[in-house]
Structure 1
Amino acid sequence: MSLFRPEFWKIPAVGQADAARLPELENMLEQRLQGIAERFPRAVFATSLAVEDMVVTDMLCRLKLPVRIVTLHTGRLNPETETLIARTDEQYGIGIEVFAPDTDSAERFEREYGAASIYESVERRRECCRIRKIEPLNRALSDAPAWLTGQRRSQSDTRTELPFEEADTARGIAKFNPIFDWEETDVWAYAQKHAVPLNALYSQGYPSIGCEPCTRPVKLGDPVRSGRWWWESTDSKECGLHK
């Protein structure tokens, strides 16, 4: 019987250099968000409740910008993620708009293919993501002039060319990634400085958190998104929300 226990990812330590560059990043983020709100009143921020998204949420609330904040409750979230929705509402005095999947579509998928089919086929997993994420997001953005995300370039190999502003051609609206050029330690420096509410799973080795069946802790030194859809190859590790 092996007694070996792997060491898992830990929240990055924030150094003096990270703290020193934070004011400049904060000023830039403030300008970016104000500019988006001025160009697109009633833009929508779709938060995944990840630390990156909580940083954007914190700044939006500090600036009191007229940006709707929405999130997707897929029906497969960890309890820790559900708790964070309530904590965020309470701390900032807001009511995050929650969009859930169509019940009939979700039940039909599991009846026809089975919940475990997501592990057997990329197509089945993506169909599950379509039902539980993409369709609810489409409803959330149905009357939005633009939307915002918390994506960063250095998060994964699929996001290295991420721009600040892009065109969401599928929906015919603008899309913004206001912290696209932040590094991981920048995000954690901000979160610690401003006491941003965070998902408790971060302290359990989860650097990237999605639906409970599709997320697991990451070993120390592995890519931060390797715990998402871990049974798939690197080039397929997206749910389709940003395609």
Structure 2
Amino acid sequence: MVLVDLTTGALIAEPDAAATVLEPSADHDMLETAAGGNAGPIAIMFPSFADGRGFSLARILRDRLGFTGEIRAVGSLIPDQSQFLLRSGFDTAEIADPGAAESWNASLAHIRRSYQPSARNPLPLRWNASAKAAAELDRVLAAEDDLVERIKLIADCIDGRIAFSTSLGLEDQVILQAIAESGVTKAGAAVDVFTLDTGRLFPEVLETVELSELRYRTRIRLVVPDAREVEELVTRDGVYGFRQSVDNRKSCCEVRKVRPLNRALRGAQGWITGLRRDQSQARADVPMAAWDEARGLIKVSPLADWTDEQVNTYIDAHSVVVNPLHAQGFVSIGCAPCTRAIEPGEDPRAGRWWWEAEDKKECGLHVADSEQRSAVPVAQEEKAA
């Protein structure tokens, strides 16, 4: 059996556990028995793709019986059903042909808005409801000074999976400590914490991952780039081709960071970041919360209004786990070949891509929506050449 994760689009070749199988004719007593005290997966059979009874069973399990475990869709399924399965409460779907994974991924990203509530809402409701929700969250967060309370507000206001992408920098470590202290949970699971393992991280970053997992008792997922795309990039530009031009460097960031990030954020309703307004001129207007149209989620920066002094004071007061590179003059830490220590008085971002012009040095993770949509993927650049 091969499953597709309806949240991330990833293939699961070896499911963790056998599932309790329910036929579409299962009555309420059967559903209650399956859900009662059962933490394992429940599989709902679809005899044909035209049989919609399974959608109703999943909604009953989620909404009426409060089942929080994995629900699998098995049987006769087609990619066009993917988002409807997810919104009904399914986590995974059985696919007969692993080669169809691309079609399932395309279907998961096809619909951008919905007009009805569901067991899960990975999609924004109506044309402007999500933008209004983001604006309201921005207002609420700005009125609250305590970071732990801000984290709780984020969990309360965002209905769906919340992802936290951490670089293990000072700001992100502060947020990770606050998440651990807040004890917030969504649908029975902690906020999804992950970091982008570009293949070129400092060893100290990976050591900080391990220490943080032990200290805060949470798993930090390592999200890696597609090996084929990295191979094609290096074949085209060379091992250190990113230093030859800004376009080459942006292509490297696109493959190693932006695409893996977008994959990890797929299906999330909220995205927590460590952006602060005084980190650089390009980030001077960062809101506490805003609707990210390109990714279809609310992007939250709970430290947007914090100063360096506030960050350092929090770190000292809570004995936050800190990357040892910071003590060596590294402020903003990215990939090892692209990061250097800064001199006293230099801009905090001066150590990133120091061979480039000083203004707007971003990797593409936090560019404006209009810039993001205009970015040319590596594959298209190759065709154009």
TM-score (structure 2 length as normaliser): 0.55
CA-to-aligned-CA distance 1:142-161 (integer Å, 9 cap, x gap): 11011010010000111001
Aligned position for 1:18 = none
2:291 is aligned, of 152, 164, 167, to 167
**Alignment RMSD:** 1.4
Q: Secondary structure at the match of 1:154?
A: coil
Number of the residue aligned with 2:153: 35
Counterpart residue type for residue 211 of structure 1 = C
Greater mean deviation of Cα atoms: 113-122 or 78-87: 113-122
Q: Could you tell me the percent identity over the aligned residues?
A: 41
Change (3 A) 1:43 1:212: same
Deviations 1:70-118 (A, max 9, x none): 1111110000001111111011111111100111111111111102211
Greater relative contact order (Cα 8 A, min sep 6): structure 1 or 2?
1
CA contact (8 A) 2:161 2:267 kept: no
Deviation, 1:125, is: 0.4
> Deviations along 1:132-189, whole A, 9 cap, x unmatched?
1111111110110110100100001110011101111111111010000000111111
Stretches of structure 2 that go unaligned for 5 or more consecutive residues are 1-142, 186-190, 368-385
* Aligned counterpart, 2:341: 217
Q: 1:230 aligns with which of 334, 354, 372?
A: 354
Q: 1:135 aligns with which of 236, 259, 262?
A: 259
1:61 aligns with 2:61: no
Are the counterparts in 1 of residues 149 and 182 from structure 2 also a CA contact under 8 Å?
no
Structure 1 counterpart of 2:363, which letter? Answer: C
Matched, 1:204 2:328: yes
Give 1:236 deviation, angstroms: 3.5
Q: Secondary structure at the match of 1:69?
A: strand
Contact in 1 for aligned 2:148/2:181 (Cα 8 Å): no
Unaligned runs of 5+ in 1: 1-24
Q: Where does residue 150 of structure 1 map in the other structure?
A: 274
On the 8 A contact 2:198/2:257 being kept in 1, the answer is yes
What is the distance in 2 between the residues matched to 1:236 and 1:212? 20
Q: Is 2:171–2:274's contact at 8 Å kept on the other side of the alignment?
A: yes
Instruction: Specify whether residues 133 and 78 from structure 1 end up closer, same or farther in structure 2 by C-alpha distance, changes over 3 A only.
Output: same
Q: What amino acid does structure 2 have at the position aligned with 1:220?
A: P
- Within the candidate set 168, 171, 189, 1:49 is matched to 168
Choose 110-119 or 27-36, whichever is displaced more. 27-36
Are residues 1:240 and 2:364 paired? yes
Q: Does 1:189 align with 2:313?
A: yes
SS in 2 for 1:151: coil
Deviation at 1:42, TM superposition (A): 2.3
* Structure-to-structure mapping, 1:104-143, within 5 angstroms: 104-143=228-267
Aligned pairs, how many? 219
Aligned counterparts of 1:44 and 1:232: Cα–Cα separation in 2:
31
| 2:146 maps to amino acid | M
Query: TM-score, normalization: structure 1?
Result: 0.87
User: Aligned in 2, Cα 1:26/1:164: closer, same or farther, shift over 3 Å?
Assistant: closer
Structure 1: distance between partners of 2:321 and 2:306: 19
Partner of 2:377: none
Alignment-mate amino acid for residue 337 of structure 2: P
SS in 2 for 1:144: coil
Q: Name the CA shift for 1:159/1:27 in 2 (closer, same or farther; >3 Å).
A: closer
Once residues 190 and 236 of structure 1 are traced to their aligned partners in structure 2, the CA distance between those partners, rounded to angstroms, is 28
In structure 2, distance between residues paired with 1:176 and 1:223: 24
Distance in 1 of aligned mates of 2:161 and 2:212:
20
**Whole-angstrom distance in 2 between the partners of 1:97 and 1:116:** 27
Whether the aligned pair in 1 keeps the contact of 2:208 and 2:321 (CA below 8 Å) is yes
| 2:281–2:360 CA contact under 8 A, matched in 1 | no
Aligned-residue offset at 1:193: 1.1
CA distance in 2, matches of 1:65, 1:239: 30
CA distance in 2, matches of 1:236, 1:116: 22
